[in-house]
Structure 1
Amino acid sequence: MIGQIILKALNEQIKKELDSAYLYLSMAAYFDSENLEGMAHWMKLQAKEEFNHAMKFYNHINERGGKVEFFALEKPPMDWKDPYEVFKNVYEHEKKVTESIHNLVDLAKKENDHATYSMLMWFVDEQVEEEANALKILEILEKIKDNSVGIIMLDRQLASRE
């Protein structure tokens, strides 16, 4: 049986993961409106990935005899200045998610919840990848600045994400 303190924290994390999916879907809509289909594709896949993360927490709660609780999602921003600003937001957002996961790890240790701790190690590794991917794209965008040809080339590269 899952403890109430961990249960509350994991339900809050489900909301954070769904907020992330909603944010990335909003970013996809922005890119679609700018005819940057590759970047939109990347964001749509990112949104699906965040939804899958929420489901990992959902399943963990159910497997441990807890009750999943849903909270209202936050309305995400809808407009950005340019792709650089979007990916800067992605990188900053992923750093916040990493902090949230690390806080859950600390809580699982404190509560001696070994099952949750074990499950969270997957997320610790995942966040290293999430931050690295966002930072790589951000650094490329820094180099190409307002170079429309460079942005189109990056857009085509991001379209190949599977």
Structure 2
Amino acid sequence: MNTKRLSDAMEKALSDQMNVELFQSHIYLSYGIWADDQSYGGIANFLFRHSKEERDHAIKFMQFILNRGGKPNITALQAADRDPSSLTECFDLVFKHEVENTEKIYNLVNMAFEEKDWATWNFLQWFVKEQIEEETLAIKLIDKLKIAGGDQATDESLYNLDKDLGSSPDDAELARNATSENP
């Protein structure tokens, strides 16, 4: 008996989005490494925590596919195009990636609606809400940097921004607290 409750097209689309979320995690990790290399430890930790959050999103997609009788397909991740040249570019790229991800989520919602796959449509509503939060967070990053003076910010302003982002609350564990037993 076939117990799969997803169309083949939906199963593939959800697997593709799972891989997009893994790529987003990869991007945040890459930008975090860049920030750390630039001596922005707080910003790096902020980006590392968001890398974990994006990975958790991928796991949500994986689990949903499995729960609906499908089999997720993991693909190879591409590398980040390049390191940002400045904090402004870094935060602008974060926003750009979040907007692109929102569009992908909306496409999945439309697909679920067209297929009358209400279980998937309902599942995706969490991601619609999450993307509103993610875009808002990215806009706030850009705004905070502008308030600090953008790329012409003083060392003191950048120090305070770095400190602020490093200590901002987040659901994800701090990257520096990870161990092999508790990744």
Same fold per superposition (TM over 0.5): yes
Alignment partners' CA distance in 1, 2:93 and 2:52: 18
Which is helix-richer, 1 or 2?
Answer: 1
Map of 1:2-151 to 2, 5 A cutoff? 2-143=6-147, 144-145=149-150, 146-147=152-153, 148-151=155-158
| 1:78 CA displacement | 4.0
Residues 85-134 of structure 1 show CA distances to partners (whole Å, capped at 9, x for unaligned) of: 10000001100000000000000000111111011000000000000011
3-state SS of 2:39 partner:
coil
Residues 29-62 of structure 1 show CA distances to partners (whole Å, capped at 9, x for unaligned) of: 0011011011001100100000000000000000
**TM-score, normalised by the number of residues in structure 2:** 0.86
- Identity of paired residues, percent? 36
**TM-score, normalised by the number of residues in structure 1:** 0.97
Alignment partners' CA distance in 2, 1:65 and 1:79: 39
How many residues are treated as equivalent by the alignment? 162
8 Å Cα contact 1:17-1:54 kept in structure 2: yes
Alignment partners' CA distance in 1, 2:134 and 2:34: 21
8 Å Cα contact 1:30-1:78 kept in structure 2: no
8 Å Cα contact 1:108-1:114 kept in structure 2: yes
8 Å Cα contact 1:87-1:138 kept in structure 2: yes
Describe the shift of the 1:149–1:77 C-alpha distance in structure 2 as closer, same or farther (beyond 3 A): farther
Question: Any unmatched runs of 5+ in structure 1?
Answer: none
Alignment partners' CA distance in 2, 1:157 and 1:40: 12
3-state SS of 2:167 partner:
coil
Alignment partners' CA distance in 2, 1:110 and 1:73: 29
Residue equivalent to 1:155 = 162
* Greater Rg by CA: 2
Residues 15-36 of structure 1 show CA distances to partners (whole Å, capped at 9, x for unaligned) of: 1000000000000100110110
3-state SS of 1:45 partner:
helix
Which stretch of structure 1 is more off in the superposition, 108-117 or 138-147? Answer: 138-147
Alignment partners' CA distance in 1, 2:93 and 2:144: 15
